Structure 1
Amino acid sequence: MDQTRHEGQPIGRRPTLYSCEIVENVLVYRLHGDLDLADPESLVFGRSPTGFHAVVVDLADVSFFGSAALNSVLRLRLDAASLGVTVHLSAVPRIAARVLEVTGADGLFPTHESLGAALRAL
């Protein structure tokens, strides 16, 4: 299994917000912690989805998912879609599911119960 791991860059004094890895030609972002950020540029995905089969954003370790996080994930989706790549969400916690539902973004992403389930589906 091809697996490469990278860490997201800390923003100022904030902790790292994500890790990035490649699993079998799938770009995987694992988001961490409280993503209620005032600055919409705080969560910037640092790797282009160019050349990947799919992108999975794993939310299993997210304790809060605010509008800035939603905007970052939507921006990632648009960037990926322009390349013909689909962004999937995995392990969506209730707080993030509610934000996605209220904004109507829940229908924009294929979702999976877990990261493992997402990778198996791809």
Structure 2
Amino acid sequence: MTKLASTYAAEQEEKQRRASRRRRILAIRFAFWSLLLAVVASVLVYALHLQAKTVDAKRAEKERLTKQLAELKRQKKQMKEEMKRLHDDDYIAELARKKYYLSKDGEIIFVLPEK
């Protein structure tokens, strides 16, 4: 097969080379932007995952602290009641008899083992 040395044939070959080169450049651009998009998407998904982990940890900590707060409020209420009772002389006397085995005149103390 012999090539014709015409300007038309040369123009067509040049046109095909340009089209081929343009397609190659477009393919490279597409690959570059696709890769860049994939990297950005990966970074965003990773950041979202980290934030979700952090939120879960904060929720667990909040739940723990809420339980602790409820326990502290319960203790505070008990202590306030104990303070009120400590102003009563009869309660103090009863407490002293129980804790320190003090007795009234003519009273005998029997200590029973706790179950």
Tell me which interval the TM-score lies in, with the shorter structure as reference length: under 0.3
- Determine which structure has the larger helix proportion and give its number: 2
State the TM-score, normalizing by the size of structure 2.
0.18
Q: Which structure ranks higher in relative contact order (CA pairs < 8 Å, sequence separation ≥ 6)?
A: 1
The structure with more radius of gyration: 2
